[in-house]
């Protein structure tokens, strides 16, 4: 019987075949098959032929796009215990091999650059999404102790950086935004990060421009500021609209629109 064309039915078709094969072959047979294939690699010519046979119109999915309903069903069909990798974890050796297999010229995107249209679509798809604190913590733990090489740092500077905003970091600050003013902001919030509550310890908290306008206090726009720890301050560089709305609401609802002490109060 030919494989069904419908993606959901095809996934079920594959699952049944896999289950049937597993029943047919016991663990000993699988082990022998695995041993027999160890050390064997496909030649570049064979890889090229396989790749060519799946390109363009030769691919059975050529010209097709999955509906939202089909995507949802596929997602549900692979969640939790339904996923063939459920409960499994890759060994460090396997992770290393996978990493090596995709480095440099081996990576499928090597030498390619995304068009402005593609970058815009990716940016739009990520707007409004907020990473949970648990996920942030795990990412933080995973990157602890890792340092970028000088070569990598050089490549990520300036216009190459995903945080590049057209050079606005070189624009001057309002002269009123000085050390004395920053201390009044920190003091107003009790020398704690306005987002996570971490106390100022050793290094001074950064005083963040809520509206991302360096000329606040000088150009007549509402002077809104919050003190932030290095971690929370780094998060504000992405999804700026979210953070501006978030801190503006915090200042207005919890602090009556104020975010720093007047000089007289700060002095007392």
H-state helical runs in the chain: 7-24, 27-37, 44-53, 68-77, 92-101, 116-126, 133-143, 150-155, 179-188, 230-235, 240-254, 263-267
For 95-111, what is the mean pLDDT?
Answer: 77
Structure tokens at 134: 């648990």
Average pLDDT of every residue of the chain? 79
Please check the confidence at residue 146 and state whether its pLDDT lies above 80: no
The more confident residue out of 47 and 26 is: 47
Structure tokens at 16: 């049944």
d(C-alpha 248, C-alpha 255), whole Å: 10
User: Nearest Cα to 205, choosing from 195, 215, 216?
Assistant: 195
pLDDT at 224 (0 to 100): 93
**CA 120 to each of CA 125, 156, 220, 235, 250: distance values in angstroms, whole numbers, following the listed order:** 9, 19, 32, 20, 30
pLDDT at 172 (0 to 100): 81
pLDDT at 206 (0 to 100): 94
pLDDT at 250 (0 to 100): 92
What pLDDT band is residue 158 in, cutting at 50, 70 and 90? low
The more confident residue out of 80 and 231 is: 231
Indicate the burial class of 40 (C-beta count within 10 angstroms; 0-12, 13-18, 19 or more).
Answer: exposed
Please check the confidence at residue 151 and state whether its pLDDT lies above 90: no
Work out whether strand 225-228 and strand 206-209 pair parallel, antiparallel, or are unpaired.
antiparallel
**CA 247 to each of CA 90, 212, 228, 236: distance values in angstroms, whole numbers, following the listed order:** 40, 11, 11, 10
Please check the confidence at residue 81 and state whether its pLDDT lies above 70: yes
pLDDT at 1 (0 to 100): 57
pLDDT at 162 (0 to 100): 53
pLDDT at 46 (0 to 100): 85
pLDDT at 168 (0 to 100): 46
Phi (first) and psi of residue 105, to 5 degrees: -65, -15
pLDDT at 130 (0 to 100): 67
Tell me the pLDDT tens digit for each residue of 169-206.
Answer: 446 888 899 999 999 999 999 999 999 999 998 889 99
The angle subtended at Cα 118 by Cα 117 and Cα 124, nearest 5°, is 90
| CB contact at 8 A, 173 and 214 | yes
Tell me the pLDDT tens digit for each residue of 113-130.
Answer: 777 787 777 777 766 666
Tell me the pLDDT tens digit for each residue of 57-66.
Answer: 777 777 777 7
């Amino acid at each position: 019987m030919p494989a069904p064309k419908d993606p959901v039915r095809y996934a079920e078709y594959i699952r049944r075949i896999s289950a049937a094969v597993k029943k047919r072959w016991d663990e000993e047979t699988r082990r022998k098959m695995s041993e027999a294939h160890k050390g064997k690699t496909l030649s570049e010519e064979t890889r090229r032929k396989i790749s060519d046979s799946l390109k363009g119109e030769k691919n059975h999915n050529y010209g097709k796009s999955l509906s939202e309903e089909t995507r949802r069903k596929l997602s549900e069909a692979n969640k939790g215990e339904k996923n063939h990798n459920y409960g499994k974890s890759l060994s460090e050796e396997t992770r290393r091999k996978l990493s090596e297999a995709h480095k440099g010229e081996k990576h499928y995107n090597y030498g390619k650059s995304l068009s402005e249209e593609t970058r815009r679509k990716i940016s739009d798809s990520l707007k409004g999404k907020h990473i949970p604190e648990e996920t942030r913590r795990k990412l933080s733990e995973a990157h602890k102790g890792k340092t970028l090489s000088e070569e990598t740092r050089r490549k990520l500077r300036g216009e190459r950086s995903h945080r590049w905003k057209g050079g606005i970091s070189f624009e001057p600050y309002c002269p009123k935004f000085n050390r004395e003013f920053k201390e009044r902001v920190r003091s107003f919030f009790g020398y704690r990060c306005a987002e996570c509550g971490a106390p100022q310890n050793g290094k001074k908290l950064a005083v963040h421009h809520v509206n991302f306008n360096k000329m606040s206090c000088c150009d007549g726009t509402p002077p809104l500021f919050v003190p932030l720890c290095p971690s929370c301050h780094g998060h504000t560089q992405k999804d700026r609209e979210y953070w501006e709305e978030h801190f503006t609401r915090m200042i207005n609802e919890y602090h009556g629109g104020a975010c720093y002490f007047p000089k007289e109060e700060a002095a007392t």
